[in-house]
A and B are shown apart, each in its own frame.
Chain A
Amino acid sequence: MTPRRWQLVVLFAVTAGFVAVPAVLRDAYLLNVLILTLMYAALAQSWNILGGYCGQISLGHALYFGCGAYVTSLLFTKLGVSPWFGAMAGGCVAAVLALALGYPCFRLAGHYFSIATIVIAEIGLLLVHNWDAVGGAQGIQWPISRDSWWTLQFARNKAPYVYLALGLFVITWLVTYWIEGSRWGYWWRAVKDNTEAAESLGVEVFRSKMAAAALSAFFTAVGGGFYAAFVGYIDPESVMTFRFSLLFALPAVLGGIGTLWGPLVGAAILIPMTEITRSYMGGSGNGVDLIIYGALIMFIALAKPEGVLSLFQRDAKPEAAR
């Protein structure tokens, strides 16, 4: 078996491990942490497609996340459409949006591109905030309904959300795996490493960026749809702020940017830490939770610039070099 095939075996083992967790773990709080960890792993993997593999550092992915959350919530609360289809629709809207925005933005380089993604997401946030037809600042409350796989509402037992988040992660992982070995993957890494050289060798740079953006936005929005169904209430501040854009990139960067396992490793460190410090120390409002959280992010970024994953790799990964 090639080393690449072994990755699938690892995925199978990891997935099996996570599937078993809800059978032994009943604590609602810990399951909640697990769900968020898997969701952020999936979202970071989606970000990684554009930011890690294609090298386009978007700091505006909260726009796509919000797009998925809003389309799913609106279709469900106004038309009774199942979140399964709502999340797909949200993903498609986000992908089209990413293509429309990518058309002008991908001519920008470096920080000019990143700042453009920030301000576009901010415009989206402000518009939604002041748009009463989609709930405005009030947001959208999902009606309370009985547990069902059709509406994705599970009030008593959180285990189904674990499986859904896990499924989302596995799908984004498999898509990334497939891309890594395909012609697109080679093109994207070439665009990341040296755009001019790639272009001169016949790589279609613009089309590469557009494809990466559409795919990345689609899965980010599907994640947003899942999140909306999971929490049952969304408003602009809880799904579309700049902080979310950073939180989608952060696990990938901390775990290992442009790698298959970086997002999961990063999320597995970051999210439990965030949740635990927040619930045990955040209640007092004295800021100690923020101090620990900030110091940890700083420490990992400085101590392991290539990501935590590099601890386990003996050979330097060629795509990590710049």
Chain B
Amino acid sequence: MTAQAFFQVLASGLLMGLLYALIAVGLSLIFGLMDVVNFAHGEFLMVAMYATFGLWAIVGVDPVLLMPLVIAFMFVFGAAVYLGVVRFAMRAKTNSGMVQIFATFGLAILIQGVSQLLFSPDYRSIPASWLGGRTVSIGGVFLPLPQVYGGLISVLAFAGLYLLMSRTDFGKALEATREDQGAVALVGIDRNKVFALGWGLGAALVGLAGSVLAIFYYIHPQVGGPFALVAYVVVALGGFGSVFGALAAGLIVGVVESFAAIAMPPAMKSIPVYLLYLGVVFIRPSGLFGRL
């Protein structure tokens, strides 16, 4: 492999990894906050992609400009899912883990059905975007513009998330609630409100990823599944609940997958990623940066 080809593969892996991290971080945030694994996470991504597609079809404005609307919608959607579904799943006194898994799994199927009803099972794509089909060349390495845009959005989102977590009252309330759910009630923090905002924030983050992905990926009711699987692996590899573990793990997964895709039949490119996850947790049972 020439140096140029090496950097080409590395760069596209890193860009995809940034997007994987952005998809996964909402899942990690929600898990860290309240120990719930959202099995409808892939469907959240799919909803954001359809929201972008639907707005684009109605308004006719470039998807890049629609992004704020999409993430606002996803914020409301995520908070509504918490208030309408997850809040009740948490009340279960027995085997609450399984109840959460299957309540959100049922929700995932429901969302797939609704999007099939609204948009039909056909594959959709957004043919015209400012970014679509263009590439930039950096030192002989060619990068598709939508992916570069996605990478930038992801970096900005992580920077924003860092500021939010460390500098704002909401961030402190999030951190306090994940440390001790009982104690925060004593100091006047409404646990339900923090959870609802946490779900909103998690959904808005995956919504951001969805609005980018909609520019260069096919949109259909089952599109979320494979991305959700990558997100679970990223979150677990980084360590459940560790936001920046998700960033590191996302980048690792993106790069491993990118090199695997040229070393073996592309259909099998996920195998090294899965093996990496197994290898890491067999040595470190709580992931790279997780607290057990």
Determine whether the beta carbon of A120 is less than 8 Å from that of B278.
yes
**Interface membership of A130, Cβ < 8 A:** yes
Distance between B59 CB and nearest chain A CB, rounded to angstroms: 25
Asked if B285 contacts A112 (CB within 8 A), the reply is yes
| Residues on the A chain within 8 Å of B97, using CB | 57, 110
Spell out A's residues near B (CB within 8 Å): 57, 104, 107-112, 115-116, 118-120, 122-123, 126-127, 129-130, 242, 246, 249-250, 253-254, 257, 285-299, 301-302, 305-306, 320-322
Judge whether B112 and A122 touch: CB under 8 Å: no
Contact B265 A242 (CB under 8 A): no
Q: Given A115-B277, A119-B278, A286 and B110 touching (CB < 8 A)? A: no
Separation of A25 and B53 alpha carbons in the complex (Å) = 49
B271: chain A residues at CB < 8 Å are 123, 126-127
A294 touches B107 (CB 8 A): yes
Beta-carbon contact of B285 and A107 below 8 Å: yes
- In the A-B complex, list the 8 residue pairs whose CB atoms are closest, starting with the nearest: A287-B116, A290-B113, A294-B109, A294-B110, A297-B106, A298-B106, A305-B92, A291-B113
In the complex, which residues of chain A have a beta carbon less than 8 angstroms from the beta carbon of B232? 115, 118
Whether B107 lies near A298 (C-beta < 8 A) is yes
Contact A302 B274, CB 8 Å, known A287-B114, A291-B110, A295-B110: no
Judge whether B96 is part of the interface by a CB distance below 8 angstroms. Answer: yes
- B94 on the A face (CB < 8 A): yes
Bound Cα distance A301, B290 (Å): 29
Docked pose: A235 CA to B275 CA in angstroms: 24
Instruction: Give complex CA distance A291, B116 in Å.
Output: 9
Interface size of B by CB at 8 A reads 54
**Interface members, chain B 75-91 (any A CB < 8 Å):** 85, 88-89, 91
Contacts of A322 in B (CB 8 A): 94-96
Chain B residues near A257: list those with CB within 8 A.
95, 98
Please indicate the chain B residues that have their CB under 8 angstroms from the CB of A115 in the complex: 232-233, 236, 277
Pairwise interchain contact B281-A295, C-beta atoms closer than 8 A: no
Interface readout for B228-242 with A: 1 if CB under 8 Å, 0 if not?
Answer: 010011001000100
B90 nearest CB across to chain A (Å) = 10
23 A-B pairs in the complex with CB atoms less than 8 angstroms apart:
A57-B98, A107-B282, A112-B287, A115-B233, A119-B229, A119-B274, A122-B229, A122-B270, A126-B267, A126-B268, A126-B271, A253-B98, A257-B95, A294-B111, A296-B106, A297-B109, A301-B89, A301-B99, A302-B92, A305-B89, A305-B93, A306-B95, A320-B94
Q: Tell whether, in the assembled complex, residue A305 and residue B109 are in contact, meaning their CB atoms are under 8 Å apart.
A: no
Give Cα distance in the complex from A254 to B107, angstroms.
15
Instruction: List which B13-56 residues lie within 8 A (CB) of chain A.
Output: 31, 37
The answer on a CB contact under 8 Å between B102 and A287 is: no
- CB contact under 8 A between A112 and B236, given known A288-B117, A295-B106: yes
How distant is A291 from chain B, measured CB to nearest CB, in Å? Answer: 4
Complexed CA–CA distance, A182 and B88 (Å)? 36
- Chain B residues whose CB sits within 8 angstroms of the CB of A119 once the complex forms: 229, 233, 274, 277-278
Residues of chain B lying within 8 A (CB to CB) of residue A290: 109-110, 112-113, 116
User: Among residues 163 to 210 in chain B, which have CB atoms less than 8 Å away from a CB atom of chain A?
Assistant: none
Would you call B157 an interface residue if the criterion is a C-beta within 8 Å of the partner chain's C-beta atoms? no
When C-beta atoms are compared, the residue in chain B nearest to A119 turns out to be B274
Residues of A within 8 Å of B265, CB to CB, are 130
Closest to B114 in A: A291
Given A57-B98, A119-B233, A302-B85, residue A287 in contact with residue B113 (CB < 8 A): yes
User: Does B248 have its Cβ within 8 Å of any Cβ on chain A?
Assistant: no
Name the residue on A nearest B264 (C-beta).
Answer: A130
Contact with A along B113-148 (1 / 0, CB 8 A): 111110011000000000000000000000000000
Choose among B98, B103, B285 the residue with the greatest number of A CB atoms under 10 Å from its CB: B98
Tell whether, in the assembled complex, residue B102 and residue A301 are in contact, meaning their CB atoms are under 8 Å apart: yes
Q: Which residues of chain A have C-beta atoms less than 8 A from B117's C-beta?
A: 286-288, 291
A285, B103: Cβ atoms under 8 Å? no
A18–B248 Cα gap in the complex (Å)?
55
Residue B1, interface by CB 8 Å? no
**A301→B113 contact, CB < 8 A:** no
Interface pair B113/A126, CB less than 8 Å apart = no
Closest A residue to B119 using CB positions:
A287
The verdict on B108 contacting chain A, using a C-beta distance below 8 Å, is yes
B residues in contact with A108, CB < 8 Å = 281-282, 285
Asked if A112 meets B286 with Cβ closer than 8 Å, knowing A294-B107, A297-B102, the reply is yes
Which of A116, A130, A302, A306 has the most C-beta atoms of chain B within 10 angstroms of its own C-beta?
A302
Q: Is B105 at the interface (CB under 8 A from chain A)?
A: yes
Contact with A along B252-277 (1 / 0, CB 8 A): 00000000000001011011001101
* CA A292 to CA B114, docked complex, whole Å: 10
